[in-house]
Amino acid sequence: MKESLRDYLVSKQKLIEKEINKSVQSLRVPPKLKESMLYSLEAGGKRLRPILLMASYETYGKESAKVISSAIALELIHTYSLIHDDLPAMDDDSYRRGKLTNHKMFDEATAILAGDALLTYSFEIVSNDPLLSDKEKVDIIKKLSECSGPNGMVGGQILDMEAENRNVSLEELEKIHELKTGELLKFAITSGALLGNASPKQLEALEEFSYYLGLIFQVQDDILDVIGDQEKIGKTVGSDESNQKSTYPKLLGLKGAQDRKMDYVNKAKHALKKADADVSMLSALTDYFSERDY
Ligand code: GRG
């Protein structure tokens, strides 16, 4: 990875982590709830979604403080989804990012409530941001709820559950990932650009870009699973999830999955060309998503 990209990722991670901590610490709620929310928020996530949101904003806008509330809200929703995904009723995982999952560290009821609190607090954060106009608040909350709700991530999660233990086609697999993983990435890219006042045409190009970026992220996730890097960091220890689920390497073979990923990279970069701006950071992040090793 180029040094400039590494510096960019580290500086954004630090900024996001500081802002998340400040926002959640300011809550006057029962200590156990706050502790459980902070436990998963500070358990070592890569912060890819808020970084993308900020990079997308910076492609068009200048006043970067304006995107902090949306970036934090997005990471809170991502964290809620992981806490709920790990519950016994779903993937039943004991470890995530090499640490105990929330319900193992606390208990199931607390983990469910921590997830609920992260989801709902995300909307509160955006609605209280003094740097956003009322219209911007409504636009962001609308996008965030669409991307995370039944038409987005939650819809994708149920499709994924229904697809377990049966063969799915490549088209079905893409639809599942478009919703389950891709919609939050779509929010990151399009809301960043929206706050930066990108034009409708630019937004259209970025939405197309985000679709392929989501698929790149997922193929690489599947590839990493096969080559065992996830086990190295303890991400799926205690789960036999990977044996039951359809993945790109299972459908296409490892080489086929890698070729497919490069096809998505080309399509993502083609869409970026239509975004009519300096997209060098979004392009570098596309390569990072495609080549990441954890
Ligand atoms: C429970 C409503 C609900 C949804 C869950 C996102 C999700 C939907 C489940 C996570 C399961 C999973 C492993 C999906 C694969 C792609 C993915 C979202 C990986 C985790 O994202 P990273 O790598 O996570 O950005 P970090 O740990 O860096 O935050």
Q: What is the pLDDT of residues 92-138, one digit of tens each?
A: 999 999 999 999 999 999 999 999 999 999 999 999 999 999 999 99
Residue 240 has a pLDDT of 45
ipTM over 0.90: yes
Reported pTM: 0.93
Instruction: Flag whether pLDDT at 43 surpasses 50.
Output: yes
Of all atoms in ligand 1, which is nearest to the CA of residue 236?
Answer: 13
Q: Determine whether the shortest distance from the Cβ of 81 to ligand 1 is under 6 A.
A: yes
CA dist., res. 275 & res. 253, Å (int): 33
95-96/99-100 β-pairing: antiparallel
Average pLDDT over every residue of 51-55: 97
Residue nearest to atom 17 of ligand 1 (CA): 181
Helices assigned H by DSSP within the chain: 3-25, 31-41, 48-60, 68-85, 102-105, 108-127, 134-148, 153-163, 170-177, 183-195, 200-227, 229-232, 241-244, 248-273, 280-291
Using DSSP's 3-state secondary structure scheme, residue 259 falls into helix
Q: Ligand 1 pocket, 157 CB below 6 A?
A: yes
Average pLDDT, the chain: 93
Structural domains of the chain sorted by starting position, each given as residue range(s) with its CATH number in brackets: 3-291 (1.10.600.10)
Sign of CA pseudo-dihedral 35, 38, 39, 40: positive
Q: What is the pLDDT of residue 1?
A: 73
For residue 62, the CA-to-ligand 1 centroid distance in Å is 30
Whether ligand 1 lies within 6 angstroms of the CB of 101 is answered as no
Percent of the chain with pLDDT over 90: 88
- How far away, in angstroms, is 293 Cα from ligand 1 center? 16
Query: Would you give the DSSP letter of residue 99?
Result: E
pLDDT digits (tens, 9 = 90+) for 224-279: 999 875 455 444 443 444 557 889 999 999 999 999 999 999 999 999 999 999 99
Residue nearest to atom 14 of ligand 1 (CA): 181
